[in-house]
Amino acid sequence: MSFRNTEETQKLQDMLRQKESDLEKTEDLLNSFQYEVNLLSQERKRLIGLQSNLELELETSSQAHKQLAEQKTENEKLKDIIDTLKIDLDEALYHHQQMPSILHTVEEHVDDEQEEEEEEEQGNQDRIVVVKRKGSLLSLKEESHVLSPLKV
3-state secondary structure of 132: strand
Q: Which of 5-19, 100-114, 137-151 is the least confident region? A: 137-151
> Residues 88-104: what's their mean pLDDT?
78
pLDDT for position 144: 45
Q: How confident is the model at residue 140 (pLDDT cuts 50, 70, 90)?
A: very low
pLDDT digits (tens, 9 = 90+) for 18-77: 999 999 999 999 999 999 999 999 999 999 999 999 999 999 999 999 999 999 999 999
Identify whether the C-beta of residue 113 lies closer than 8 Å to the C-beta of residue 102.
Answer: no
Distance CA 103, CA 101 (A): 5
- Residue 141 zone, left/alpha/beta (φ > 0; ψ -120 to 50; rest): beta
Tell me, what's the pLDDT at 137? 47
State if pTM tops 0.75: no
* CA–CA distance, 46 with 43 (Å, rounded to integer): 5
Of residues 40 and 92, the one with the higher pLDDT is 40
- Residue 56 CA to residue 122 CA, distance in Å, equals 95
CB 142 within 8 A of CB 127: yes
Mean pLDDT of 8-21: 94
- Which pLDDT band, with edges at 50, 70 and 90, does 146 fall under? very low
* Dihedral (CA of 22, 24, 30, 36) sign: negative
Q: What is the mean pLDDT of the chain?
A: 81
Which helix or strand (DSSP H or E) is residue 150 part of? Answer: strand 146-150
